[in-house]
Structure 1
Amino acid sequence: MTATTDTTAHTPADTALIVIDVQESFRQRESWQAASDPDVAGKVAVLVDHARLHGRLVVWVLHTEPGTGGAFDPALGHVRLMEGLAPAAGEPVLHKTAHNAFTTTNLQQILTERGIRNLITCGIRTEQCVETTTRLAADLGYDVTFVSDATATEPIAHRDAPAGRPLAEVLADPRTLLPAEIIARTEYALAGRFANVTTVKELTGS
């Protein structure tokens, strides 16, 4: 795959913006205090406005973990878009239980029915649900643009670290992978292989 940030060459009808897990659930967790961009919804909103302006489909994806009693359990009411984001009429809202946006939803059916072959991905978390969706989309044959600064993530504790530690202990551990490094690694992994990596400004011109 040849890397490029020029999605304007595509016709509006063949491109969709996939907004992944920009939901209140994350704001309910202590780890969100150390997120790379707690206001990521604002950057996503710019992408949404740009997509609508150019007649592109916007697909909203929310992560759910029914019956868990946690922040992603729909019963608690946090599985909703962050403030400032809202679907327009006709924009699909999908609920997934897997990391990627395809496996447990009808996303591919929606895209196929509309003749969409080019995707723009953004959302939370950079290296988890957004990257996983981007990789799978590329394997399915879609031309994917990953908007890096319209994603956000949180620190990742070392695999041998005790579970359930307070955020302060996680951050004090030198083995913890911090958001800036996570994002950089994701960009390296995706660029030229699975996606065209770009920024909000490069994509929208604003």
Structure 2
Amino acid sequence: MAALHRKPGKDMVVEKNTYGAFRKSGLEEKPVEMGIKEVIVTGVMTNLCWETNAREASVRGFRVFFSTDVTTTSDEELHDATLQTMAYGFAYIAYAQLMAALHRK
């Protein structure tokens, strides 16, 4: 599952059958229609769904934020390697302050 947050209680939810959420889901078109230029990637496993979606969003021209403290994976080395890769060319690495800023709005 993937969601596009529009307004509280009005998320667009798409089903996915692979690690990425963009393919054949409408998830690329809706943010563009809405004028969205930045995305925050969330998920469960850092090196699978999170990484795939961050890469997909980046190559589609979105500015991507990847929060380090709300994800994990089965191996700390995989987690750290993914964070380094994301920071190198696909996403801005954010910490708890990103989530705190969102809750202040």
Normalized against structure 2, the TM-score is what?
0.83
Q: Would you say 1:187 and 2:101 are equivalent positions? A: no
Give the residue type in structure 1 aligned to 2:5.
Answer: V
Q: Aligned residue for 1:72?
A: none
Looking at structure 1, the residues matched to 44 and 13 of structure 2 have their Cα atoms a distance apart, in angstroms, of 16
Query: 1:20 offset after TM fit, Å?
Result: 4.8
Give unpaired runs (5+ residues) of structure 2.
none
Looking at structure 1, the residues matched to 51 and 79 of structure 2 have their Cα atoms a distance apart, in angstroms, of 10
Query: 1:180 offset after TM fit, Å?
Result: 1.3
Give unpaired runs (5+ residues) of structure 1.
1-18, 22-56, 60-87, 155-178
Give the residue type in structure 2 aligned to 1:152.
Answer: T
Q: Kindly indicate whether the alpha-carbon contact (under 8 Å) linking 1:148 and 1:183 is maintained by their aligned counterparts in 2.
A: no
Q: Which has the larger radius of gyration?
A: 1
Q: Kindly indicate whether the alpha-carbon contact (under 8 Å) linking 2:2 and 2:13 is maintained by their aligned counterparts in 1.
A: no
Instruction: Describe the SS at the equivalent of 2:88.
Output: coil
Looking at structure 1, the residues matched to 92 and 2 of structure 2 have their Cα atoms a distance apart, in angstroms, of 17
The ranges of structure 1 where at least 4 consecutive aligned residues each deviate by more than 6 angstroms after the TM superposition are none
Q: Kindly indicate whether the alpha-carbon contact (under 8 Å) linking 1:99 and 1:133 is maintained by their aligned counterparts in 2.
A: yes
Q: Aligned residue pairs: how many?
A: 101
Q: Would you say 1:119 and 2:39 are equivalent positions? A: yes
Q: Aligned residue for 1:202?
A: 97
Cα RMSD over matched residues?
2.4
Q: Structure 2 vs 1, CA of residues 20 and 150 (structure 1 numbering), >3 Å: closer, same or farther?
A: farther
Looking at structure 2, the residues matched to 184 and 124 of structure 1 have their Cα atoms a distance apart, in angstroms, of 15
Q: Percent identity?
A: 29
Q: Aligned residue for 2:11?
A: 91
Q: Greater helix share, 1 or 2?
A: 2
Q: Aligned residue for 2:72?
A: 152
* Larger deviation, residues 144-153 vs 131-140: 144-153
Q: Kindly indicate whether the alpha-carbon contact (under 8 Å) linking 2:67 and 2:94 is maintained by their aligned counterparts in 1.
A: yes
Q: Aligned residue for 1:15?
A: none
Looking at structure 2, the residues matched to 153 and 110 of structure 1 have their Cα atoms a distance apart, in angstroms, of 29
Looking at structure 1, the residues matched to 17 and 24 of structure 2 have their Cα atoms a distance apart, in angstroms, of 6
Q: Structure 2 vs 1, CA of residues 20 and 147 (structure 1 numbering), >3 Å: closer, same or farther?
A: farther
Higher relative contact order structure (alpha carbons within 8 Å, sequence separation ≥ 6): 1
Looking at structure 2, the residues matched to 151 and 110 of structure 1 have their Cα atoms a distance apart, in angstroms, of 25
Looking at structure 2, the residues matched to 196 and 145 of structure 1 have their Cα atoms a distance apart, in angstroms, of 5
Query: 1:192 offset after TM fit, Å?
Result: 3.5
Query: 1:89 offset after TM fit, Å?
Result: 2.8
Looking at structure 1, the residues matched to 2 and 37 of structure 2 have their Cα atoms a distance apart, in angstroms, of 18
